[in-house]
Structure 1
Amino acid sequence: MRGAWLIWTLMFAGPACAQTPAPPAASPLDNYAEAAATTIIAEQTCPGIQVKAGQLTTLRLATKVAAAQEAILQEKLRTRATQVRQQLAADGREAWCAQALAAFGPQGSVAKGILATGAPIR
């Protein structure tokens, strides 16, 4: 009975369902590189947005970057910064800044509180 259910599921789901592997999970280094590149470029590009350096530092410490991983992280940061700049150019400053703030601002969907607006951050 179980085999029939599997055949029925694959038949209706199509071959793409059976052949499409799940995307690999992002590593902590990838996540940190995304946060650092996006927030630093946002501070440089978006009016009134500032990086809360303490929050970014806390995220880096939570990533637990080993000394042997520093070169890998630097390459990930360069690659991610290039991707972020390309996305900024494609989306336009206003839309991209809104997305960056939504992802990393006070209500951040990716990481809360790395970006802030308004008063100077110390």
Structure 2
Amino acid sequence: MVRRQTIVAVILALAGATGASAVEKAAAPPPPANGLSPLDAYAEAAATTILAEQNCPGTHLRAGRLTTLRLAAKVVPAQEAMLEAKLRSRAADLRQRLAADGQAVWCDAAIDAFGPQGTVARDVLVR
């Protein structure tokens, strides 16, 4: 639990420190999945990839790429509390899905969505 909070804090700190020029250099924003708002799409990506790193053997989160997604979502300081709540809620939902689907199935789905050929965002997770 502490490790996850530390990772989220580092990601938030990195995103805040990079400035507006990084937004201009950022890759295309993640496509809104299922009509999600940019904030919801970023919460989905962050929660999924952090849990994948913790639960999927050999899987690593590329924090810089996740930061790029955050910048592309244009998260502003006024949204931090809302983002934190969305991250907690999304992580709880994902933990339930992980338990229901099983580790292998859930991890494969996370890699399919956020791995090198990701259907939601590419190269956020690597094996």
Alignment TM class, shorter chain as reference: 0.7 to 0.9
Contiguous gaps of at least 5 residues in structure 1: 1-23, 118-122
How many pairs align?
Answer: 94
Residue among 48, 64, 75 paired with 1:38:
48
The runs of at least 4 aligned residues of structure 1 exceeding 2 Å deviation read none
Matched, 1:53 2:72: no
Residue equivalent to 1:76: 86
Q: Which has the larger radius of gyration?
A: 1
**1:111 paired residue number:** 121
Distance 1:106 1:99 in 2: 13
Amino acid at match of 2:91: A
**If the length of structure 2 is used for normalisation, what is the TM-score?**
0.72
TM-score for the superposition, normalised by structure 1: 0.75
What is the root-mean-square deviation in Å for CA atoms of aligned residues?
A: 1.0
Which residue of the other structure, out of 64, 89, 100, is the alignment partner of 2:99? Answer: 89
More helix by share: 2
Take 2:54 and 2:97, find their aligned partners in 1: how far apart are those partners? 15
Give the distance between the partners of 1:88 and 1:54, measured in 2 at CA. 25
User: Could you give the per-residue CA deviations for residues 42-95 of structure 1, whole angstroms, max 9, x where no partner exists?
Assistant: 000000000011100100111111111111111000000001100000000011
Partner of 2:37: 27
Unaligned runs of 5+ in 2: 1-33
Q: 1:25 deviation in Å?
A: 2.3
